Amino acid sequence: MDLHFEYLYVLFLLLMIPGLYFLYAKYNSEKKDSVLKFSSLKIIKKSITGKNFARKHLPFVLMMGVLGLIIVGFANPQIPSVTFEKGINLSVVLDGSESMAASDYNPTRLDAAKDAISKLVTKIGPQNNVGVVLFESGATTISYLSPDKQKTINAVSSIQQGQGATAIGDGLSLGIDMSSSIPDKKSIVILLSDGVHNSGFVTPDEAIEYAKSNNVQIHTIGLGSIEPVYLRDDIYGEPQYAELDEETLMKISNETGGNYYKSLDEKTLNDIFVTLSSNLEFEMEYSTIRDWFYAAAIGLMLINAYIIYGRYRIVA
C-alpha cells in the first residue's frame, strides 16, 4: 500500500513514546525500591511475575498505542485512489520553430509530432474537448477547444513548418487559456518542444504561475535525439545544433502536477502518446484514512478502561 502523509512532520511526535517509556520504567523502578523496604520478598516476587505483572503494565502499553495512533491520525495518512474524470479540456501546445524541421525523426520532428497528436485525438472520448496551439516566435490557435475530433485532426494536418524562434511561455499561456475556457471539466495541457525558450512576451515561470492559478495540469514532452542534431551555420560559420531544455520542461510539469517525458525518435514519441491516452481520463487522488486510526485509538481506550475498571480490574 502506497501510504502518504499530508503532515509528515507530525510523525516526529512519535519520539515522545520512547521518552515516556523511559520515565515509566524509572518510576516503577523507584516504586519497587521503596516497596522492598517494607514488604517481604515473597510478596514482591508474586507481584512482579506472571499474569499480575502483565496486567499491571498492560494499561501503559495500551495508552502508548493510543497516543501513537492519534499522532499518526494527526499526520493525516492517505492512500491513493483512481477516479474517472467526467471529461477533460485538453490543449495540445506544439513547437513549430525552426529546429522542428530536423530530420532525425521520420520524416521530420514536426511531422512525427503531428502524426502522434492525431493518433491521440482519435483515442480521446466523445465527452472530452481538444484544441491545438502552435508556437514559434509567437503563438497562435490552430484548432479551438471542441468535441469535434475530426476537425482537430484536419487542423493539425494543415500545420506548416515555421522558421521562427521558441516562445514556450506564449504557447503555454494560450494553451492554459484554452483548456480553462470551458468549466466543469479537468483542464490539461500537453506541451511538445525541442528547444530553449528564447522569444515571446511570457516567460515559462509566468506561465507556470498562470497554470497554477487556473488549476491547469501540464504534461511536457521533450523532443530530443541520441546524437546532436545539426541545424545550420551561424553568421560566423559556426555550426548550430538543436538544444533541448529539459530542466525547464521538468519544472513546468513538476510544478503543475503533470509528468515529463523525453522522446528520442518517432517510436518513443508514439509510445509516450499511448501512455498519455491511457491516463488522461483518470485522476490519481489521495483519500484520507485518519479516521481508521482514530477509531483504533478509541477501541484501545475502551479495552484499556475495561482492563483497569472492569471485572478483572487492576488494583494498584
pLDDT at residue 209 in the model:
97
Tens digit of each residue's pLDDT, the chain (316 residues): 578 888 999 999 999 999 998 888 888 777 665 655 555 555 555 555 555 656 677 888 899 999 999 999 999 998 876 555 568 999 999 999 988 988 889 999 999 999 999 999 998 888 899 999 999 999 999 999 999 999 999 999 999 998 888 999 999 999 999 999 988 888 999 999 988 899 999 999 999 999 999 999 999 999 988 677 766 666 777 777 677 889 999 999 999 999 999 999 999 999 999 999 877 765 555 678 999 999 999 999 998 888 887 765 654 4
pLDDT at residue 166 in the model:
93
User: pTM of the entire structure?
Assistant: 0.65
> What stretch of H or E contains 123?
helix 109-123
Map out the domains of the chain as residue ranges: 4-79+288-309, 86-280
DSSP assignment, residue 312?
A: T
- Please state which of the four CATH numbers 2.40.160.40, 3.40.50.410, 1.10.10.10, 3.90.1580.10 is assigned to the domain occupying 86-280: 3.40.50.410
DSSP H helix total and E strand total for the chain: 10, 11
Length, in residues, of the chain: 316
d(CA 113, CA 36): 85
